[in-house]
Amino acid sequence: MTYTLYIGDFTYSSWSLRGWLLFEKFGIPRREVRIDFNTDDSVADQLAALCPPARTVPTVVTEDGAILSESLSLAEELASRHPEAHLWPSIPLARATARTLTSEMHAGFTALRGDCPMNLATAYLDSDPSDAVLADLARLETIWSHARATCRPNGPWLCGDYSIVDAFYAPVAARLAGYNLPMGQTARAYVAAHLADPAFRRWRAMGLAKKEYLPWYAKDYPTRDWPGPTPRVAKAVDGTEAENGACPYSGKPITHVLEMEGRRFGFCNAFCRDKTVADPTAWPAFMALVEGQ
């Protein structure tokens, strides 16, 4: 099965992150097309020229011509077409719990989403949340605690192994962390799991590599360092001399190089290099190269 996944900005598009995680976390191949948020042409206009009648991201076009431009329908369709991937929990109680929490996220938390738009390039020290946002946070604590008490997962995710419900709450976790919002023990642990998740870190690294700034998402709050794991230090350097002879991602010839811990590694373009500079250990193919696997 071949899919084309239309996504928006890595740093700001929370729904694009959800759609991308549904493919990335479950190993579903796709071709990705980015829709430019920093242009006079609206997302709807750009999509209308590419895959009408879609108007929002993420949108997926399937091999048989279906156009899925609503995230919950996309999740359900992928789960139906890829039962082997276990996008929903296999245990009925956990699956039912995951479904209801996913639906609530899809339709709710409007204060949190409106007051605290996702911004993976900036973390704030104090965002002075409104009463409505605090009510959303209390509701999150309630339903996340309920899911873990009901499903009794062994790991950090809500209903067992990582599933659709966790992909849907990943941008919520980013908001709680990025705006330094008050959290109880359950929420704090769940948010930390998302910030440490390699797939989430890869998405954020791609946004840092693109360096796109959309000023209408900025807030006038004091800032702090991003609260996730501290990446290993790497930097872009000139030249093409490197330990490896081909890009670890594409296998193409070396054109751009980074330096990490006194070693030089090459890539086929600036974006491949820069996304790796942003968070080297998030990229399995690169770390396999580093570790000589």
| CATH for the stretch 3-85 | 3.40.30.10
Q: Are strands 31-34 and 256-260 parallel, antiparallel or unpaired?
A: unpaired
pLDDT of residue 205: 98
pLDDT of residue 136: 98
DSSP annotation of 215? G
pLDDT at 93: 98
Question: Tell me, what's the pLDDT at 167?
Answer: 98
Domain 92-201 falls under CATH 1.20.1740.10: no
Instruction: Give the residue range(s) of CATH 1.20.1050.10 domains in the chain.
Output: 92-201
pLDDT value, residue 49: 87
- In the numeric block, the tokens 């694009």 are attached to 16
Residue (of 112, 106, 95) closest to 70 by Cα position: 106
From the list 134, 73, 127, the residue with the least C-alpha distance to 102 is 73
pLDDT in tens, 117-166: 999 999 999 999 999 999 999 999 999 999 999 999 999 999 999 999 99
Instruction: Return the SS3 of 282.
Output: helix
Which stretches in the chain have pLDDT values below 70?
Answer: none
Question: Rounded to an integer, what distance in angstroms lies between the CA atom of residue 101 and that of residue 165?
Answer: 7
Domain with CATH 3.40.30.10 in the chain: 3-85
